Amino acid sequence: MPASTIDRRTFFTRAGAAAAALLSLKYISSEALAQTATAEPALVYGQWEDVMRRKWTWDRVVRGSRGINCAGHCAFNVYVKNGIVWREEQQGEYGKAADDTPDWGPRGCQKGVRHAKHMYGKQRVLYPMKRVGERGEGKWQRISWEQATSEIADKFLDHATQSGPDSITFATGTAMVMKRASFAALFRFANSTGLVMPETFAGVGDLPVGAYMTLGHSLPGDNHAAIYKSKCVLVWAANPAATRIPDAHFLWEAKYNGTDVVTIAPDFNATAMHSSRWLNPKPGTDTALAMAMVQTIIADGLIDWAYVREQTDLPFLVRESNGKFLTWGDVAAGEHSDAYCMWDAKSQRVVRAPGSGAKAMGGGPPGAAPQPMPRESLALNGVEPALEGRWTVTTPKVPVEVTTVFAKLKALCDERYTPELSQAITGVHADNTRAVARSSPVRVPA
Ligand code: SF4
C-alpha cells in the first residue's frame, strides 16, 4: 500500500505497534523510529531473528582438547550441529594442584576457540599429496593411499638396506603425535626396525637434558600454581600473557595474594601491562641490570648465606694470577683431581668442595667411562666455607694466591655495576633497580 493512501489513524496504529515492539527489545534508535514511521506493513517477529537464534542451537556437545599452538592441552566443549563443529568453548572444570593454590582454570584462549578453522580450512591436507614441482614451487599432485605407502616403504627399505636402519631418524617433531594412542604404534615401529629416536627434548634445546644430567630430573622446577605462593615473581625475557596463556592466570591471581609481579622487557607487552611493576632496559642490556641487582643484594646483605655456601659455586677458590679455579688436583694428588676447592674458615685450610668433580657426580675420574650412581651430596658436613678473603695455598709446585668467586663477583659489581653505573647502560633508573632487587628480601644472619 503506498504511504500516501494510509490515513492518519492507520499510520499511528502501525507506527505505535512497531515502536512498542522495538522498545521491548531495547533496540530502538532514532533511525529505527524514523523507519517505523514509513515502514509498510508492520514488522512480524520470528523471521530474520530466528537466524540469529538458531545459531545458538546444536545437536550434541562433545569433549575436545587443544594443543595446536602452545601445547597447553586445554579442555574444550565442542558443539556439533549437522555433523560439523559449530562452535567451541572452554571447560571450567580444572581442579587444584594443592589446597593452598588456586585451581588450574580457566585454560584455553581465542586460538583454541578457533580450532575448528584448522579442521575445515582450505590449508588442511586431506589426501596423500606428492610434490611434482621444485621444492618450494607449491606444485602438488593427489595420489592414492596405496601409492603413498608403497613409495614411503620403498624409500625406507632402500635406506635401511644400503646404509642401515640407524641412518633413519624417527623424530616426533613438536610431539603432537604423543597426544594420540597411535603414537604407541609409531614407537613400536621405530623400536622394532632399529631407527634412531632422538631424545624428545632434543627439539627444544638442551636445558631439560642438561638438567637431567646434572640433577637427575628433567623438570626440577615447581609447577605454575606455585607462583601464587611467591613473594616476588620476575618475568624476565618472557611474555606469558601471550606465550603461556593457559597458566598466565596464576600471575594475576598471585597479585591478589600480595605477590609483587615484575616484568622486565624493553616493550610494554601484554604481561607488562598487568604486572605490579615494569622495568624496561634497553634491548641487549639485561646483564648490566642483573649485575646491578646483584650489587644491591650483596650490599644490603639480602642473602641466604647458608644456601650460598652449600648450593652455589660462590665459595670456590680462584687463582688471583689468571682467574682460573683452583682444583683439588693442584693441591693434592687423588681421585678427585678435577674437583673444586674451598677455604674452611673453621680449620683454616683448603678442603675439597663436596659434590664437585666428575667422580663425585657419579662419573669417575676425568676421561673415564661414566659410572652409575651414587652421587656425592653437596652437604658441607661441618665445613664452613669462607666467602671472602685472600689466602696463599701451598701446592706441590709453587704457592698460589687465591680468593673466592664471591669476592671477585662483589668487586666486579662495586667497580662496574652499581645501579647508578648500570643506569647509563640500561636506561633503568637506579631507584627502580634497587626497588626490584629489594622486593623479596631474604635476610639470614651471616
Ligand atoms: S592456551 Fe590456547 S593455544 Fe594454548 S593449548 Fe590452550 S587453547 Fe591452545
The per-residue pLDDT for 116 is 85
Which cell is 243 given?
Answer: 606465550
Number of domains in the chain: 5
Domain end call among 280, 298, 321: 280
Do 265 and 321 share a domain, yes or no? no
Cα first-last separation, the chain:
97
The per-residue pLDDT for 149 is 96
Alpha carbon of 407 to ligand 1 centroid (Å): 46
pLDDT digits (tens, 9 = 90+) for 213-233: 777 777 777 889 999 999 999
Higher pLDDT, 298 or 191: 298
Do 307 and 445 share a domain, yes or no? yes
Share of the chain above pLDDT 70, in %: 80
Do 300 and 271 share a domain, yes or no? no
- Which residue ranges have their beta carbon within 6 Å of ligand 1? 66-70, 72, 74, 107-109, 111-112, 245-246
Share of the chain above pLDDT 90, in %: 55
Residue of 90, 104, 107, 114 to test ligand 1 pocket, by largest number of atoms within 8 Å of CB: 107
The per-residue pLDDT for 384 is 97
Do 78 and 205 share a domain, yes or no? no
Task: Judge whether 382 lies within some domain.
Answer: yes
- β-bridge mates for residue 85, sequence order: 80
The per-residue pLDDT for 123 is 83
The per-residue pLDDT for 397 is 87
**Please, which residues have CB within 8 angstroms of residue 354's CB and are 6 or more apart in sequence?**
360, 376, 377, 378, 379, 380, 381, 383
The per-residue pLDDT for 427 is 98
List the domain range (segments joined by +) for residue 248.
222-280
Alpha carbon of 109 to ligand 1 centroid (Å): 5
The per-residue pLDDT for 34 is 44
Distance CA 374, CA 362 (A): 6
Task: Judge whether 354 lies within some domain.
Answer: yes
Do 72 and 175 share a domain, yes or no? no
Do 372 and 325 share a domain, yes or no? yes
Do 370 and 443 share a domain, yes or no? yes
Question: Which atom of ligand 1 has the smallest separation from the CA of 90?
Answer: 7
Alpha carbon of 71 to ligand 1 centroid (Å): 7
Which cell is 353 given?
Answer: 668442595
Band of residue 47 on the pLDDT scale cut at 50, 70, 90: confident
Task: Judge whether 271 lies within some domain.
Answer: yes
Band of residue 262 on the pLDDT scale cut at 50, 70, 90: very high
Do 174 and 253 share a domain, yes or no? no
What's the average model confidence in pLDDT over 354-368?
A: 71
pLDDT digits (tens, 9 = 90+) for 301-353: 999 999 999 999 999 999 999 999 999 999 987 778 889 999 999 999 999 99
The per-residue pLDDT for 374 is 66
Residue of 65, 68, 69, 90 to test ligand 1 pocket, by largest number of atoms within 8 Å of CB: 69
Concatenating the DSSP letter of every residue in 218-271 gives S--S--GGGGGG-SEEEEES--HHHHSHHHHHHHHHHHHTT-EEEEE-SS--TT
Which cell is 418 given?
Answer: 652499581
Band of residue 28 on the pLDDT scale cut at 50, 70, 90: very low
Question: Which atom of ligand 1 has the smallest separation from the CA of 110?
Answer: 2
Do 188 and 109 share a domain, yes or no? no
The per-residue pLDDT for 106 is 82
Task: Judge whether 359 lies within some domain.
Answer: yes
The per-residue pLDDT for 118 is 82
The per-residue pLDDT for 375 is 75
Inter-axis angle of helices 8-24 and 30-38, nearest 10 = 140
Domain end call among 237, 258, 280: 280
The per-residue pLDDT for 185 is 82
**Please, which residues have CB within 8 angstroms of residue 106's CB and are 6 or more apart in sequence?**
90, 92, 94, 249
Alpha carbon of 91 to ligand 1 centroid (Å): 12
Higher pLDDT, 124 or 290: 290
The owner of cell 632402500 is 158
The per-residue pLDDT for 215 is 73
The CA-based angle 112-118-120, given to 5 degrees, is: 130
Question: Which atom of ligand 1 has the smallest separation from the CA of 74?
Answer: 6
Residue of 73, 245, 249, 250 to test ligand 1 pocket, by largest number of atoms within 8 Å of CB: 245
The per-residue pLDDT for 342 is 97
What's the average model confidence in pLDDT over 18-24?
A: 40
Dihedral, CA atoms, 21, 26, 30, 32, nearest 10 degrees?
A: -50
pLDDT digits (tens, 9 = 90+) for 396-405: 889 999 999 9
Alpha carbon of 235 to ligand 1 centroid (Å): 20
Task: Judge whether 144 lies within some domain.
Answer: no
pLDDT digits (tens, 9 = 90+) for 130-165: 999 999 999 999 999 999 999 999 999 999 999 999
Do 110 and 36 share a domain, yes or no? no
The per-residue pLDDT for 424 is 97
Give CA 21 to chain center in angstroms. Answer: 53
- β-bridge mates for residue 131, sequence order: 140
3-state class (DSSP) for residue 314: coil
Q: From atom 3 of ligand 1, which residue's Cα is the shortest distance away?
A: 69
For the cut 80, the answer to whether the pLDDT of residue 361 exceeds it is no
Do 243 and 310 share a domain, yes or no? no
For the chain, count helices (H), then strands (E). Answer: 16, 13
Q: From atom 6 of ligand 1, which residue's Cα is the shortest distance away?
A: 108
